[in-house]
């Protein structure tokens, strides 16, 4: 798909859009871009409209100084939908994008027909050490040197990533592509701001666990790779228990980037979910009712 651009609040937002039919919004992970969906977009566009933006600070979108919290990302996605006159759709989020998708569903439920969480962040404390290290005080000084050194010693850097548990294949390829993108100072600063807002040395410090009961009326699919080295698959099972009526799909041979490891199975699971569920109806009073009632008794927290 050819890229398009729009200027929002003075910042350039790059996105890809194609196809016709019900809308699927694809949100990538940290230090990634819409390119991560290249394997699945051609199949999805056959029956759906597909919107895949580069989040601010990522890809070919602007990388301003500013707010890189989940709330700010969710606001930016809402503004993009509004500017493109796309009222609502199924929101699909991978890794960081999963956290953004959950925040969007919480802040702007009228924009969300369904929610799809793909190896999502924000569902538990555990996180691979390579991302926790970005929360270290000196990471901003060390990272530029690592990017340059890694670019000039590809074999050594790939070997190092492999020793950190990233398997040859999609996990390693995507990790390398993300790492190379951080050579750009603006992307590097956005990465550090995002990580430090969500992660500390112990792992993920921002969790949606206490608010997952609010998704009870929102059709939700949880997709995960059984061999995910970055975020443990246990988070998928725990979220499935918390989200009433959710659907859980574990791809046995896939890692963190399951949409690239097993694109055919990913597309099949996503389309089956969309075709066999009804969009959440718009109800302005739903949130107030859910907040008053709270989580069901016995729901894990």
Unique residue bearing structure tokens 């969500």: 198
95, 119, 120, 246: which one is catalytic? 95
Distance CA(79)–CA(152), nearest Å, equals: 39
Structure-token pair, residue 2: 């050819």
With residue 4 as reference, give the H or E element that holds it: strand 3-8
- The per-residue DSSP string of 18-58 comes to E--SSEEEEE--TT--GGGGTTTHHHHTTTSEEEEE--TTS
> Helix and strand tally (H, E) in the chain?
12, 10
Sequence-ordered alpha helix ranges (H) in 114-257? 129-132, 139-152, 154-163, 170-181, 185-198, 234-242
Q: Is 228 a catalytic residue?
A: yes
54, 171, 228, 261: which one is catalytic? 228
User: Residue 255, exposed/middle/buried by CB under 10 A (0-12, 13-18, 19+)?
Assistant: buried
Grouping H, G, I as helix, E, B as strand and the rest as coil, residue 150 is helix
Q: Is 256 a catalytic residue?
A: yes
Q: For residue 66, what is the DSSP state?
A: S
CA-closest candidate to residue 255, choices 209, 223, 207, 222: 223
Q: Is 95 a catalytic residue?
A: yes
If phi > 0 it is left, if psi is from -120 to 50 it is alpha, else beta; for residue 130 that is alpha
28, 235, 256, 259: which one is catalytic? 256
CA-closest candidate to residue 56, choices 33, 89, 86: 33
Q: For residue 179, how many C-alpha atoms fall within 13 Å in the half-sphere facing its CB?
A: 23
Active site residues: 95, 228, 256
């Amino acid at each position: 798909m050819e890229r398009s651009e729009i200027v929002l609040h003075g910042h350039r937002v790059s996105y890809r859009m194609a196809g016709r039919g019900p809308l699927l919004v694809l949100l990538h992970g940290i230090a990634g871009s819409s390119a991560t969906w290249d394997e699945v977009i051609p199949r999805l566009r056959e029956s759906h409209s597909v919107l895949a933006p580069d989040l601010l600070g990522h890809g070919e979108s602007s990388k301003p100084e500013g707010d890189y919290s989940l709330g700010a990302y969710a606001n930016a996605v809402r503004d993009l939908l509004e500017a493109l006159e796309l009222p609502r759709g199924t929101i699909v989020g991978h890794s960081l994008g999963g956290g953004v998708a959950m925040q969007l569903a919480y802040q702007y439920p009228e924009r969300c027909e369904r929610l799809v969480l793909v190896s999502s962040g924000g569902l538990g404390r555990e996180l691979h050490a390579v991302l926790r290290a970005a929360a270290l005080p000196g990471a901003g000084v060390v990272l530029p040197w690592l990017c340059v050194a890694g670019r000039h010693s590809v074999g050594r850097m790939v070997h190092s990533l492999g020793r950190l548990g990233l398997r040859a294949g999609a996990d390693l390829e995507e990790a390398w592509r993300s790492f190379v993108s951080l050579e750009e100072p603006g992307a590097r600063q956005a990465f550090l701001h995002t990580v430090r807002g969500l992660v500390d040395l112990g792992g993920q410090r921002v969790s949606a666990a206490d608010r997952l009961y609010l998704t009870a009326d929102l059709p939700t699919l949880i997709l995960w790779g059984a061999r995910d080295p970055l975020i443990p698959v246990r988070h998928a099972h725990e979220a499935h228990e918390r989200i009433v009526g959710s659907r859980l799909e574990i791809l046995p041979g896939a890692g963190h980037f399951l949409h690239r490891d097993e694109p055919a199975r990913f597309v099949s699971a996503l389309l089956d979910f969309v075709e066999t569920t009804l969009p959440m109806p718009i109800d302005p009073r739903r949130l107030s009712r859910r907040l008053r009632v709270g989580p069901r008794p016995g729901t894990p927290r």
